[in-house]
Amino acid sequence: MNKTYKHLKLSAAALALSVGVAQAADVEVLHWWTSGGEAAALNVLKQDLEGQGIGWQDMPVAGGGGTEAMTVLRARVTAGNAPTAVQMLGFDILDWAKEGALADLNATAAAEGWDAVVPEALQAFAKHDGKWISAPVNVHSTNWVWANKAVLDANGISAPTTWEEFVAAVETLHDAGVTAIAHGGQAWQDATVFDAVAMSTGGPDFYKAAFIDLDPTALGSDTMKEAFDRMAFIRDHVDENFSGRDWNLATAMVINGEAGFQMMGDWAKGEFLNAGKVPGEDFLCFRFPGTGSQVTFNADQFAMFDQGGPVSAEQAALASAILSPSFQSAFNVVKGSVPARTDVSDEAFDACAKQGMKDLAAASASGNLFGSMAHGHAAPASVKNAIYDVVTAHFNGEYDSATAVTELVEAVSIAQ
């Protein structure tokens, strides 16, 4: 076991008293799925385990990007009281694996053939040193726009496919006195929009150079300034109460006809479905204008934390349940995402999900599938957080676009 992790497990014993201890034969699961649609999806997994006689101890930590959950996790591990399983994204998984904190799932993975059915792009975050250390639940693509169809129809707007068409649509809604864009002013939400805007502005080569390769030339380019200029346009067309709003409340604005558009990952669809809305009839789903065939993604996974010995039977059962084809279908139908397995039928999925599965497969085959910067799948957390700071400062008016570019180059350089 890594010395750093040993130290964490043995220190801060007093904190352990404040966080509780999971009962044996239960799984204690730390996650941030607290909205209505997310809770409904998670219930599918709870029921699966209950059917196997395994209890579920829920540890929800609100905050859609998972930042708060990771803070709680660090405290739990420092106290020597790691949860059984933790929802994680991207580089966060690999960081914990490097600390020696995660259990070995290779036996389960080999028995169930995970290598053959989980895309390599996901395996890059689910394996460390050849060892499976987490179970992928889904694939979310992040460059979606969600729109209230009645609002668009009432204003003669079709789903825009280019930035210029999007600008025209937003201005039409603004002139009609309608809030054009529903948004929550939280760093991860700002970055989610910026992800799509940057891809739309510069295309896939630019996106890869800037956010995956961290090329200072791309980060400091005129193209990046144009991306910030476009963010300023978006900022001018959100309502004045956006600051601090949770993402699902922004989604509710679109559902209720209080706003026209929301730029958000496909977990937003779970909120529409939970509200009884039908894709194509009540709401529209389409790729962020100008991103075309490119798809940015993240993948929720459950990492199994070392409990002081070999992977437990309960952890193996949880991992097995997560990757089972039946669960992958049932869960993702509710969640709004698409399966982490490539062999799951799209028969049970709605029109938006069918399109998402098709887009994902095509992007993967054509080399246009990119890990999302905003969701920890393009660069390590230190770099992601540095980009967050600049993007949010610009969105809140602290920097103009030229200053934001300069700050971005410096922040990424320092964070590496």
pLDDT of residue 76: 93
Examine the pLDDT at 126 and tell me if it is beyond 80: yes
Q: How far apart are CA 299 and CA 295, in angstroms?
A: 13
Distance from C-alpha of 118 to C-alpha of 51, rounded to nearest angstrom: 25
Residue 166 confidence (pLDDT) above 90: yes
- What CA–CA distance (Å, rounded) separates 221 from 131? 39
Section 170-194 average pLDDT: 97
> Looking at the predicted structure, is the pLDDT value of residue 386 above 50?
yes
pLDDT in the model for residue 17: 32
Identify the pLDDT of residue 270: 85
The residue to which tokens 């030339």 are assigned = 217
Q: Give the model's pLDDT for residue 296.
A: 95
Neighbours of 3 (CB within 10 A): 9
Mean pLDDT across 72-96: 93
Is residue 150's pLDDT more than 80?
A: yes
- Please write the tens of the pLDDT for every residue from 206-222: 999 999 999 999 999 99
Q: Compute the average pLDDT of residues 315-319.
A: 94
367, pLDDT greater than 90: no
360-385: burial string, b at 16+ Cβ within 10 Å, e else: beebbeeebbbbbbbbbbbbbbebbb
Q: What is the mean pLDDT of the chain?
A: 91
Higher local confidence (pLDDT), 366 or 152: 152
pLDDT of residue 259: 98
Confidence bin at 8 (pLDDT 50/70/90)? very low
Highest mean pLDDT among 114-123, 151-160, 361-370: 151-160
The reply to whether CATH 1.10.3720.10 applies to domain 141-296+361-415 is no
pLDDT computed for residue 412 by the predictor: 98
- In this prediction, residue 23 carries a pLDDT of 45
Q: What per-residue confidence (pLDDT) applies to 238?
A: 98
Per-residue three-class SS string for the chain? CCHHHHHHHHCCHHHHHHHCCCCCCEEEEEECCCCHHHHHHHHHHHHHHHCCCCEEEEEECCCCCCHHHHHHHHHHHHCCCCCCEEEEEHHHHHHHHHCCCECCCHHHHHHHCHHHHCCHHHHHHHEECCEECEEECEEEECCEEEEEHHHHHHCCCCCCCCHHHHHHHHHHHHHCCCEEECCCECHHHHHHHHHHHHHHHHHHHHHHHHHHCCCHHHHCCHHHHHHHHHHHHHHCCECCCCECCCHHHHHHHHHCCCEEEEECCCCHHHHHHHCCCCECCCEEEEECCCCCCCEEEECEEEEEECCCCCCCHHHHHHHHHHHCHHHHHHHHHHHCCEECCCCCCCCCCCHHHHHHHHHHHHHHHHCCEEECCCCCCCCCHHHHHHHHHHHHHHHCCCCCHHHHHHHHHHHHHHHC
Read off the tokens for 93. 């998984």
On the question of pLDDT at 104 being above 60, the answer is: yes
pLDDT in tens, 346-355: 999 999 999 9
Residue 41: the pLDDT is 84
Confidence class for position 313, pLDDT limits 50, 70, 90: very high
How far is CA 52 from its chain centroid? Answer: 29
Answer yes or no: is pLDDT of 130 > 50.
yes
pLDDT higher than threshold 70 for residue 285: yes
**Is residue 43 over pLDDT 70?**
yes
pLDDT for residue 10 is more than 60: no
Per residue in 233-282, pLDDT tens? 999 999 999 999 999 999 999 999 999 999 999 989 989 988 999 999 99
pLDDT at 14: 32
pLDDT on residue 363 = 87
331 pLDDT above the threshold of 80:
yes
CATH code matching the domain that covers 3-140+299-357, chosen among 3.40.50.300, 3.40.50.1100, 3.40.50.10420, 3.40.190.10: 3.40.190.10
Instruction: Give the residue, 1 or 33, on which the prediction is more confident.
Output: 33
Q: CATH 3.40.190.10 in the chain, residues?
A: 3-140+299-357, 141-296+361-415
The predicted structure's pLDDT at residue 189:
97
Closest CA to 415 of 385, 393, 390, 388: 385
**What percent of the chain has a predicted confidence (pLDDT) above 90?**
77
Give the residues across from 28 on adjacent strands. 57
> What is the model's pTM?
0.82
